[in-house]
Amino acid sequence: MAIQYLALSTMIVLYTLMFIGGYVSAAGLGLTCPEWPMCPDGIMPSEEYLIEWIHRLVAATTASLVVATMIASLINKNSDFKIKVTSSLATVLVITQIALGAMVIDMKLHAVLVAVHLGIGIFLFSMVLLTTLFAFRISKVSISSKV
């Protein structure tokens, strides 16, 4: 897949995840699934854990997409230093965010951890947004160099 569409898909999935996270928080569903990474009834969740389970599944999908975008930007011959930095930072942030998600559960939704979880989510979104903008610039440069 072209790097710009990979980066754009990553951004859309991440944005959706932030909505789901907001819902988990606002609906008070943060501790319905008390274990990590799986809920007590394994891979397929019961209705009781569904929303939190969806948050985790979309988080895993987001992490895979963020890592794939970083690999694509590291191997693309038209990549510049900026996209390599933003996509690598996004990877560090997504791994931190998942570890923090586990800690939020473990520490029974400690307010500081929930606030940091939201803050890192916004920082992660800005890195993915910048990566997407840089990726569209790369694709423009490679098209104009072919003409």
Amino acid (one-letter) located at 87: S
Amino acid (one-letter) located at 135: A
Q: Which stretch binds ligand HEM (CB under 6 A): 43-51, 54-62, 72-80, 137-145?
A: 54-62
- Binding of ligand HEM by 138 (CB under 6 A): no
Q: What is the sign, positive or negative, of the torsion defined by CA atoms of 106, 108, 113, 117?
A: positive
* Nearest CB to ligand HEM, comparing residues 32 and 79: 32
Q: How far is the CB of 55 from ligand HEM (least distance, A)?
A: 6
Residue 138 burial class via C-beta count within 10 angstroms: exposed 0-12, middle 13-18, buried 19 and up: buried
132, 7 Cβ separation under 8 angstroms: yes
- Binding of ligand HEM by 117 (CB under 6 A): yes
Binding site for ligand HEM (CB under 6 A): 17-18, 21-22, 24-25, 30, 36, 55-56, 59, 62-63, 94, 97-98, 101-102, 104-105, 109, 114, 117-118, 121, 124
